[in-house]
Structure 1
Amino acid sequence: MTRSARTIRLPALAFALPLALIACGEPAVDDQQDATNLEADLGNGNAGDPALNAALAGQIMVDPTLTQSSNDDAIRPPPEPMGGAMPPEEAGRRADTVDPRTLKRAPAAAGDCSACRQADAALTLGALAERQTFPNAAACARTIGYSALWANRLPADLPLYPDAQLSEAAGSDQAGCRLRVVHFSSRATPQRLLDFYYTRTADTGYSADHRSDGRRHVLGGLRGGDAYSVYVTPRMDGVSDVDLVSNAGR
């Protein structure tokens, strides 16, 4: 090949190469059409889907240590704040609207607190439910499922505390079960939380039993076959952690 031939072909090659690269970067017509169809599908029909709306509006609960495993064995949130970059504790917390003048004083703690030790050993909401003493507690706990929506199906006389920041919720309606288990935090003192749940349950016919090991408090009661337990544990930052278990969910 002569020198003059090289000088002709090299500029041609340099000119063709950018055109080839530009062509590779352009999406295919089919891909563009698929993207348009997807946007249309999302904009039409799904906007009124109640399941989708509930999922988008609900609180997202993620355990960073269990993102690769089933949530059926999700670890209960720790009693102290986790490290790392996280949203402020107060984000999403509602106002405390409870008037303390409307509350009855919960009974003083008495006797041994075996329930406190059981709660310390229960690493999941399902395990905590399984340790309850009401009939079929273990059987119902084995059918438990996890979703924030279970918090909306607590009994009317055992609601979330008004300023509750929900961390986790579970429940079961299988085989006649009406099990509800939630974990939340509150800026209310342990005494106010105990007074609140004592007032709500005493007014609707529940008995009351209060136990404490000096740190954790457990308030529980019965009304026929219905039963509940409220576990309240203060944290060093002034927040109270609460686990609520009921077999009389809506």
Structure 2
Amino acid sequence: MMRSRFRGLALVVLPVALSACGPRDGDRNLDSLDNELVDAGNASRDPALTSALQDQIMVDPQLAQQANNDAVRPPAQPYSGAVPPDGVAIPPSGAVAATGASTSETLRKAPAPQGSCPQCRAARESLTLGALAAQQKDKRTSGCAGSMRYSARWAQRLPADLPLYPDARVTEAAGSEASGCALRAVSFASSASLQTVLDWYYTRVTRAGYSAEHQADGGEHVLGGTRDRDNGAFALFLTSRKDGGTDVDLVANNGN
């Protein structure tokens, strides 16, 4: 009797135990989901993903050396951000080609500076192009200074007979057309020497009918003049730079 009961109980328990050892439907579903995820992430099915994961990373050695990520102290020098050299703007055929002038052009020598230079002091005291224009002797120029607006586009609207020097690198420009004004002011740098820039502008203004007076105070030079036929006026402020080039401020009335 006891043996038959044990045998019956075994017949009931054994299927249950076997079912516990075998995979459940939920486990099968999880396995299938895992396989699907693995297959979905298989890079062999996506060429773009394969390329992104297996291609070499492009590294700039110079920038990597500047990273300085593990340094306790700041770098010994600023990260490289060098300004292009002055000669980068010169066209292949030479600076003269930019003005349309003949390569055989002979520049007129500007006269030696005469007398004191009150305009040199005005330039030193002026922090902006507008302030510099306001201190000009020409009344039309000084009267328009208050309405000047700053934008690089004014550098392209200088009088035709007072253009930018061929390799000029413009740093600031301003102008005004309010109430009949035609005022332009530009600050720029050139790789040419002060005397070369001075002679270049002296040649152009005298050929265009302007008077031209040269003044100087130490290393500061001013070339200025007027033209009777249209009441045009200009003032050119030049200072030598340590690299042999020239810093220039040009103020001109009757701009384009």
TM-score interval for Structure 1 and Structure 2 normalised by the shorter chain: 0.5 to 0.7
Aligned with residue 243 of structure 2, among 232, 237, 241? 237
Partner of 2:72: none
In the TM superposition, what is the alpha-carbon distance from 1:138 to its structure 2 partner?
3.2
CA distance in structure 2 between the partners assigned to 1:216 and 1:230 by the alignment: 11
CA distance in structure 2 between the partners assigned to 1:161 and 1:185 by the alignment: 9
Partner of 1:8: none
In the TM superposition, what is the alpha-carbon distance from 1:89 to its structure 2 partner?
4.1
- Judged with a 3 Å threshold, the aligned counterparts in structure 2 of structure 1 residues 86 and 209 are, in CA distance, closer, same or farther, namely same
Partner of 1:198: 202
Amino acid at match of 1:239: G
In the TM superposition, what is the alpha-carbon distance from 1:101 to its structure 2 partner?
5.0
In the TM superposition, what is the alpha-carbon distance from 1:104 to its structure 2 partner?
0.9
Partner of 2:75: none
1:158-197 correspondence runs (5 A): 158-197=162-201
For 2:250, what is the secondary structure of its paired residue?
Answer: strand
In the TM superposition, what is the alpha-carbon distance from 1:96 to its structure 2 partner?
2.1
Aligned with residue 119 of structure 1, among 97, 116, 123? 123
For 2:110, what is the secondary structure of its paired residue?
Answer: coil
In the TM superposition, what is the alpha-carbon distance from 1:84 to its structure 2 partner?
6.4
CA distance in structure 2 between the partners assigned to 1:204 and 1:119 by the alignment: 25
CA distance in structure 1 between the partners assigned to 2:107 and 2:193 by the alignment: 13
CA distance in structure 2 between the partners assigned to 1:190 and 1:161 by the alignment: 12
In the TM superposition, what is the alpha-carbon distance from 1:243 to its structure 2 partner?
0.7
- RMSD (CA atoms): 3.0
- Alignment partner of 1:247 is 2:253: yes
For 1:102, what is the secondary structure of its paired residue?
Answer: coil
1:215-230 correspondence runs (5 A): 215-224=219-228, 225-230=231-236
Partner of 1:51: none
CA distance in structure 1 between the partners assigned to 2:89 and 2:141 by the alignment: 32
Aligned with residue 134 of structure 2, among 121, 127, 130? 130
Say which one has the larger Rg: 2
- Judged with a 3 Å threshold, the aligned counterparts in structure 2 of structure 1 residues 193 and 88 are, in CA distance, closer, same or farther, namely closer
For 1:180, what is the secondary structure of its paired residue?
Answer: strand
Q: Give the TM-score taking structure 1 as reference length.
A: 0.64
The gaps in structure 1 that reach 5 residues or longer are 1-82
How many residues are matched?
Answer: 189
For 1:238, what is the secondary structure of its paired residue?
Answer: coil
Q: What are the Cα deviations for residues 99-138 of structure 1, in whole angstroms up to 9, with x where unaligned?
A: 5851111111010011111101111111111111112333
Amino acid at match of 1:130: A
The 10-residue stretch of structure 1 (101-110 or 219-228) with the greater mean CA deviation from structure 2: 101-110
The gaps in structure 2 that reach 5 residues or longer are 1-79
